[in-house]
Amino acid sequence: MFHKEGVGIILSSFITVAILIISMDYFEIKSSLTIKIFLIVMLVLILQFFRNPKITINSDKNYILSPVDGKIVIIEEVYEPEFFKDKRLQVSVFMSPINVHVTRYPMDGNIIYSEYHPGKYLVAWHPKSSTKNERTTIVVENNTFGKVLYRQIAGAVARRIVNYAKVGQVSVQGEDAGFIKFGSRVDLFLPLNSKIDVKLNQVVKGGVTVISSKN
């Protein structure tokens, strides 16, 4: 199963690869086998990047779930300058190109803030990427955790962020909230007293791994 954001790229890539392979056979181009293998590998990589496997959401009102698949690269107290303008606990998940890139709502709640910011394309692990790169900032609020911010961040390769969250809508934990094309990062900003249930370098799964929980 593939994500709807990848349909156009998949179709155009498939047509392009097919035309090139047929052309190489027709014109009897030398080293065509090597080129064919390269084209097929690239097509497979595109297919796997846009995959959207079905998962069982670890839904619970007392959980904040990871919004994406990837690896925990930051857990620290920081100043959040855009929305809260005070200190928060930041938990960041880095996605490699081989990860599923669907962004999922980390919790149920009301979407009270959703903003897109154009920007640079620094590597996603760069300390300034959270405030300098192309990004979207979304804030979800509920009675259990209060206001929680998550930020989709483009990386050096990622060149388009898709965000479905709109102010006034109700988020459903684990449901599709957007997509980041070709590698990036998602930051979560939680209240300072939040219990963190993950560790640095831990591999997490969107909609499944618990980032923070209430006892």
Q: Where in the chain are the domains? A: 4-49, 63-213
Catalytic status, residue 184: yes
Which entry of 130, 184, 194, 212 is annotated as an active-site residue? 184
- Taking only the tens of pLDDT, the chain with its 215 residues reads 776 776 777 788 888 988 888 888 777 777 788 888 898 888 887 777 777 788 999 999 999 999 999 999 999 999 999 999 999 999 999 988 788 889 999 999 999 999 999 876 565 555 555 666 788 999 999 999 999 999 998 865 545 788 999 999 999 999 999 988 766 889 999 999 999 999 999 999 999 999 999 97
Strand extents, DSSP E, 25-164: 63-65, 70-80, 86-95, 102-104, 109-117, 135-142, 146-154, 160-163
The topology (CATH level 3) of 63-213 is Glucose Permease (Domain IIA) (2.70.70)
Query: What does the alpha-carbon distance between residue 119 and residue 115 come to, in Å, rounded to a whole number?
Result: 13
